[in-house]
Amino acid sequence: MERRNHTGAGHFLLLGLAEDPEQQPLLFALLLCMYLVTVLGNLLIILAVASDAHLHTPMYFFLSNLSCADAGFTSTTVPKALLNIQTRSRSITFAGCITQVFCFIAFGCLDNLLLAVMAYDRFVAICHPLHYAAIMSPRLCLRLALTSWSVSVLGSLPETLTTLRLSFCANMEIPHFFCDLPEILKLSCSDTVINNIVVYLVTIVLAVFPLAGILFSYSRIFSSIMRISSARGRCKAFSTCASHLSVVSLFYGTGLGVYLSSAATPSSEMNLMASVMYTVVAPMLNPFIYSLRNKDIQGALGRLLSKMASLGGRTFAGPS
């Protein structure tokens, strides 16, 4: 077969979610609506936390970082998919594909790390409440956030850079709506042993270890909650971490669904739907999970929207 090195040039073809032309307008509208809701919802969370002094706490500081990561995670894949549907083109350059891979891995790893950090925050709040303010100091919170961002970027580099050494055959079709690294490796004519080793190592360090930290934190949290004598106290303690636990379940549940569907039926419609759940639906639902069960977020969002409506009214009315 023809071998071509696409390090500096060339392109891939993204086959997308559906091949039927009649389904494209509906698919475009659905993806666009979900993307706008995702970006708007996460942006409102960030603005609410930044504008309300009552939310200047470690939990909401990490939540605003998570919202930023979710918005970036979705923006890595959906805009290009929308553009391809609108222009009826399936092409993506090699540079664009590698950029997608880098950003997708970076934001995915960032989600993992931030969820682990938030689990540690809940562990300290419930298991060591008297020392919470001293342990979760602003300096430590800033360091944890910066470390999460830095490690995510550095962790995505090995998987991305090792892809540049590959050569690809004549078949450049990716059966997905974005450049998924496992699908890219399947198209390579080169030996991908090194790439697979790097993928496994990064997955263990930046996915398995954070998940283990989350599980350990919640095992200690549940143990502490069960030692509380009153049922009302146990319910109140559990409610402080219910939203985070829901987001963790959604994120890892959909991620596990992608893995299992890929292993059982590669390149199937089920695999594509699981990927949509993981990359689009989960980041879209996170703001709703935190806002629907959290009165502090609801109050901050209400005050923010009222302020924005007031400013908009003044702008529309003009100077008196």
Q: How far apart are CA 180 and CA 187, in angstroms?
A: 11
Residue 261 has pLDDT above 70, yes or no: no
Q: What is the pLDDT of residue 3?
A: 45
Which two tokens mark 277? Answer: 């759940």
Q: How far apart are CA 98 and CA 91, in angstroms?
A: 13
Residue 105 has pLDDT above 90, yes or no: yes
Q: How far apart are CA 181 and CA 199, in angstroms?
A: 9
CA 227 to chain centroid = 34
| DSSP at 54 | G
Q: How far apart are CA 59 and CA 246, in angstroms?
A: 15
pTM as predicted: 0.88
Is the four-CA dihedral 41, 274, 276, 144 of positive or negative sign? positive
User: pLDDT tens digit string along 276-303?
Assistant: 888 888 899 888 888 776 777 888 888 8
Q: Which helix (H) or strand (E) holds 153?
A: helix 138-163
User: pLDDT tens digit string along 16-37?
Assistant: 777 777 788 888 999 999 999 9
Residue 312 has pLDDT above 70, yes or no: no
Q: What is the pLDDT of residue 144?
A: 97
- Phi-psi bin for 57: left (phi > 0), alpha (psi -120 to 50), beta? beta
Task: Say how many C-beta atoms besides its own lie within 10 A of residue 292's C-beta.
Answer: 12
User: Going by DSSP bridges, is the β-strand pair 173-174/91-93 parallel, antiparallel, or unpaired?
Assistant: unpaired
User: pLDDT tens digit string along 223-251?
Assistant: 988 888 787 878 877 777 888 888 888 88
Mean pLDDT of 124-135: 92
Alpha-carbon distances, residue 181 vs 28, 81, 172 (angstroms): 24, 16, 13
Going along the chain from its start, the domains and CATH numbers come out as 11-222 (1.20.1070.10)
Contacts 24+ apart (CB under 8 A), 214-218: 214/115, 214/116, 214/119, 214/248, 217/116, 217/119, 217/120, 217/122, 217/123, 218/119, 218/122, 218/123, 218/245
Residue 114 has pLDDT above 60, yes or no: yes
